[in-house]
Amino acid sequence: MDTDAVLDLVREVVAEHVTPRFGALAAGDVASKRRPGDLVTVADREAEVALSAALRAAHPDALVVGEEAVSETPGLLHGLASAAHAFTVDPVDGTRHFVAGSPDHATMLAELHHGRTVRSWIWQPQHLSLIHI
């Protein structure tokens, strides 16, 4: 996928899974991860699944590592440094802010080749801003 296609993917997934839940989370939509106070929402989980599936479909050779998956299975990180091609996904960075209704959260995605970041995207949907590195 070219840079703009990945950005379009991030925007679409966020528009479908994250933005509709901003300021509208029900009590059952928020849980703690393994560490107390480390929150995860239904938006985190659904956005990560959607982003990961799309990246795997477009790049079947790539390792895709999502924050929520790693929280459940830490061993997923082991192949990241040595993978020829990989993506990291943080579906809602700043989940605590997201839960509190603060606009200061983002979706972050990075592409790596042999452990080195070659492209990254940070989409802040409530600020309608993109940081591309």
| Confidence class for position 27, pLDDT limits 50, 70, 90 | confident
Percent of the chain with pLDDT over 90: 80
Work out the mean pLDDT of the chain and round it to a whole number. Answer: 92
Query: Three-class SS of residue 32?
Result: strand
pLDDT (tens digit, 9 = 90+) per residue, 69-105? 999 888 889 989 899 999 999 999 999 999 999 999 9
Closest CA to 88 of 28, 14, 6: 6
